[in-house]
A and B are shown apart, each in its own frame.
Chain A
């Protein structure tokens, strides 16, 4: 014969476990895109799920901003960080490793292969797949700006 206290504990456990399971189910469906400005680091703003730095509206933004978004969300990977160099001169989040590549990239047209690789990486991240780091998105042979 269960005491009243035992019964209450069992009910409490049932409710708490149900809430925990629901939380896990919800969390597993989440991506790493931003939904609030505070999801982005370094003063970046969230625009359509991606982190942009204010005033950074050059033509290479699609790939660069995407990389920022991933980087800002703590999903940095070699390919993503390398791609961030395409548009992020002065980006405090992209780190000093890109500085060598920024000057040369800023005058060039964005490389279609680089953009495709970055978008593919972003899609992989969303799908929970690993990033294909074999694609050299830096153009310099290394991920630190070819230095």
Chain B
């Protein structure tokens, strides 16, 4: 048993630390909020074609599953991260750490956001993503989301040589307050 404990001691400690980070309202006299969301999207990818002409192609359908977190003391900015899977004619796996603001407009929330999509398997691709999400509260703790994002990619094995890659994507999804 002690051997087993030692083997997992580090992981248990790390998990406890993470849990404390997420749920530590009493210790720091602040309330931390979290949401989990899933969204799917596509759009248009723009690259450099023959003679420098712009080539447009549909962005592969992607699915994001992510979390966002903030506290009542510092509601801005909201930090979050998503796992991104490209599923259309290929399978690409990436992460998108992001920072966003949140402003209420009537019953809606507008969230301008900047992120850094990084695909790492089976190809690599790194860029910057800028856009906004509209959250539409439906029922308690549940909201629909729609977003528009522009992304520019500047590094990675998936980037053709001597070519720029930009994307304009739209997403729809759902969000659950935890």
| Bound CA span A26–B55, Å | 13
Interface hits, B5-54 → A, CB 8 Å = 42-51, 53
Interface hits, A3-58 → B, CB 8 Å = 5, 8-9, 11-12, 15-16, 19-20, 22-23, 26-27, 29-39, 45-50
Inter-subunit contact A27/B159 (CB<8 Å):
no
Inter-subunit contact B58/A49 (CB<8 Å):
no
| Bound CA span A50–B50, Å | 8
Inter-subunit contact B57/A48 (CB<8 Å):
no
Inter-subunit contact B107/A8 (CB<8 Å):
yes
Is B144 part of the binding interface, using a Cβ–Cβ cutoff of 8 Å? yes
Question: Closest approach, in angstroms, between the C-beta of B132 and any C-beta of chain A?
Answer: 12
| Bound CA span A34–B138, Å | 40
| Bound CA span A40–B123, Å | 12
The number of chain B residues touching the other chain, given as a range, is 35 or more
Contact A38:B92 (CB < 8 A) given known A12-B144, A22-B170, A23-B42:
yes
Is B2 part of the binding interface, using a Cβ–Cβ cutoff of 8 Å? no
Is A130 part of the binding interface, using a Cβ–Cβ cutoff of 8 Å? no
Is A74 part of the binding interface, using a Cβ–Cβ cutoff of 8 Å? yes
Question: Closest approach, in angstroms, between the C-beta of B126 and any C-beta of chain A?
Answer: 13
| Bound CA span A16–B144, Å | 9
Inter-subunit contact B123/A38 (CB<8 Å):
yes
Contact A35:B172 (CB < 8 A) given known A19-B146, A30-B56:
no
Inter-subunit contact A35/B55 (CB<8 Å):
yes
| Bound CA span A20–B139, Å | 23
* Contact partners of A36 in chain B: CB under 8 A: 45, 47, 125, 158-160, 165
Is B137 part of the binding interface, using a Cβ–Cβ cutoff of 8 Å? yes
Inter-subunit contact A8/B137 (CB<8 Å):
yes
* Contact partners of A23 in chain B: CB under 8 A: 42-43, 170
Q: Kindly supply a per-residue 1/0 record for chain B positions 46-74, scoring 1 wherever the CB is within 8 Å of any chain A CB and 0 otherwise.
A: 11111101011110000000000000000
Chain A CB within 10 Å, residue with most, of B56, B92, B107, B108:
B56
* Contact partners of A19 in chain B: CB under 8 A: 146, 148, 170-172
| Bound CA span A45–B47, Å | 14
| Bound CA span A35–B54, Å | 9
Q: Which residue of B lies closest to A32 (CB)?
A: B57
Inter-subunit contact A26/B137 (CB<8 Å):
no
Q: Which residue of A lies closest to B92 (CB)?
A: A38
Contact A49:B89 (CB < 8 A) given known A12-B136, A37-B158:
no
Contact A15:B134 (CB < 8 A) given known A22-B170, A29-B44, A49-B49:
yes
Contact A31:B56 (CB < 8 A) given known A26-B44, A36-B47:
yes
Supply 6 A–B pairs (Cβ within 8 Å), ascending by A. Answer: A12-B136, A33-B49, A35-B48, A36-B158, A47-B161, A48-B160
Q: B residues engaging A (CB < 8 A)?
A: 42-51, 53, 55-58, 89-90, 92, 107-108, 123, 125, 134, 136-139, 144, 146, 148, 157-163, 165, 168, 170-172
A15-B146, A38-B90 known; 4 other A-B pairs, CB under 8 Å? A33-B49, A35-B46, A38-B123, A46-B47
Query: Shortest 3 CB-CB distances between A and B: which pairs?
Result: A35-B47, A49-B49, A46-B160
